[in-house]
Amino acid sequence: MSSEYIKIQEWQLREIQAGLAEADAGELVSHESVMKKWEAKFKNLLVKS
């Protein structure tokens, strides 16, 4: 394995652990909030097409 691959895997694990710590601390985003953002992005993509 290359050192770049290992660096990426280490970064990914750190980010997953950080996300789990945020979730454990109650720092969550509602499904509705995420859907509104995705719907707005999708709408903007359709308008640009």
* The pLDDT of residue 49 is above 90: no
User: How would you write 2-49 as a 3-class SS string?
Assistant: CHHHHHHHHHHHHHHHHHHHHHHCCCCCCHHHHHHHHHHHHHHHHHHC
* The pLDDT of residue 1 is above 70: yes
DSSP state of 1: -
End-to-end C-alpha distance for the chain, whole angstroms:
42
Separation between Cα atoms, residue 49 and residue 44, nearest integer Å = 9
Which tens digit of pLDDT belongs to each residue from 21-43? 999 999 999 999 999 999 999 98
